[in-house]
Amino acid sequence: MAGLVGALAVACLLSIGFGALSVPPDQVVRTLLGDAPDARVDTVIWESRVPRTALGLAVGAALGLAGALLQALTRNPLADPGILGISAGAAFGVVLAAGVFGLGTLGGRIWFALAGALVAGVAVYLLGRLGQSGLTPVKLALAGVAVTALLSSLTSGIVLTDPDALNRYRFWAAGSLGGQNAGGLGLVLPLLLVGALLALACAPSLNSLALGEDVATSLGRRVGLVRVQGVLAVTLLTGGAVALIGPVVFVGLVVPHVARILAQRAGIGPDHRWLLPVSAALAPVLLLLADVAGRLVARPLEIQAGVLVAFVGGPSCSAATRSTRG
């Protein structure tokens, strides 16, 4: 955790310092301490870079927690808010709020995002339970793909009727930390904190649930209550994150696998009391570094962080497949 905190601090320093106007690390530190070298640097850092970095921290931690929690609840290494349709549900809620009801502000669309995430998550869970075999990782993933395809088609149908809405949606759907309403973080942050607390409170029960539902029940765990608490946490975390910067895929899939590797090397093992905090600290590092890379690759233009994060999706799926076989 000490190493992750150090990596997170370095990622924040890079996020604040690099961009169209690069600021040396010493000037970044001086500006943060109230001793800016000039007014231009002070304006860029405090009005643009710091809010952008704060968004990356909050959204990254939320998506990392949501992914780790989903993989533990479903015992599926491919579980992720994007793959299981939760991000698509939140995105459909946002588009529905803006395109149909005319709610363009964050305060108006956040509730639609939460409702869409909840409905999509419940639909995927119910579809995955159909059949004699009950809920299995493969059926859950297939249900998530089906629900994602349905919601994506409905979202496209709404935005294609309005060219202006289509242009705004294309930028938002790419998952960018830049150009967002950073002031909305204050509105969404309480929901993210509640979701994080609910997720962390599930950690001891998740360790029991990893042994099977029967064993968890015999150990005194209320499996149904744990699942409801976990679904509520994932809904708050994913819905809030998507409402802020758009659907960023693969963060919740990649980070928990890396967290397990780090935990094994540290001798901790699959203890969710550590895996959840490690995922929450590691995910912002990935998101912020992707955002910094997007600013530098096509400078002075930018590539959205969600686009660069998606490049690691393929290797992460391969790693998940190997872990499943193991």
In angstroms, rounded to a whole number, what is the distance separating the alpha carbons of residues 123 and 140?
Answer: 10
In angstroms, rounded to a whole number, what is the distance separating the alpha carbons of residues 213 and 223?
Answer: 7
Sequence spans of domains, the chain: 64-325
Amino acid at residue number 20: A
In angstroms, rounded to a whole number, what is the distance separating the alpha carbons of residues 186 and 105?
Answer: 14
Is the alpha carbon torsion for 130, 131, 132, 136 positive or negative?
Answer: negative
In angstroms, rounded to a whole number, what is the distance separating the alpha carbons of residues 52 and 16?
Answer: 8
**pLDDT, one tens digit for every residue, the chain (326 residues):** 788 889 999 999 999 988 878 888 888 888 888 888 888 888 888 888 999 999 999 999 999 999 999 888 888 787 888 878 888 898 898 888 887 887 767 777 788 888 898 899 889 888 888 877 766 767 877 888 899 999 999 988 888 887 666 666 777 777 778 766 666 788 889 989 999 999 999 888 888 887 777 777 877 788 778 888 888 898 899 988 888 888 887 888 889 988 888 888 887 778 888 999 999 999 999 999 989 988 888 777 788 888 888 776 555 555 555 554 44
- Indicate the SS3 state at residue 101: coil
Q: Of 246, 113, 119, 256, which is closest to residue 191 (Cα–Cα)? A: 113
Packed helices 137-159 and 86-99: angle between N→C axes, nearest 10 degrees: 20
In angstroms, rounded to a whole number, what is the distance separating the alpha carbons of residues 240 and 235?
Answer: 8
pLDDT, position 322: 57
In angstroms, rounded to a whole number, what is the distance separating the alpha carbons of residues 34 and 40?
Answer: 14
In angstroms, rounded to a whole number, what is the distance separating the alpha carbons of residues 294 and 14?
Answer: 12
pLDDT, position 314: 57
Tokens linked to 26:
């010493």
Tokens linked to 243:
């409402």
Q: Which residue has the tokens 């015999």?
A: 218
CB of 159 within 8 A of CB of 207? no
Asked if residue 247 has a cis previous peptide bond (ω within 30° of 0), the answer is no
In angstroms, how far is CA 139 from the centroid of its own chain?
23
pLDDT, position 312: 65
CB of 199 within 8 A of CB of 230? yes
Q: Which CATH number applies to 64-325?
A: 1.10.3470.10
CB of 230 within 8 A of CB of 68? no
Contact partners, residue 188, CB within 8 Å, separation at least 6? 58, 106, 110, 240, 243, 244
CB of 204 within 8 A of CB of 271? no
- Phi/psi zone of residue 120: left (φ > 0), alpha (ψ -120 to 50 degrees), beta? alpha
Is the alpha carbon torsion for 5, 7, 8, 9 positive or negative?
Answer: positive
| Residue ranges with strand state E in 14-141 | none
Is the alpha carbon torsion for 56, 61, 67, 68 positive or negative?
Answer: positive
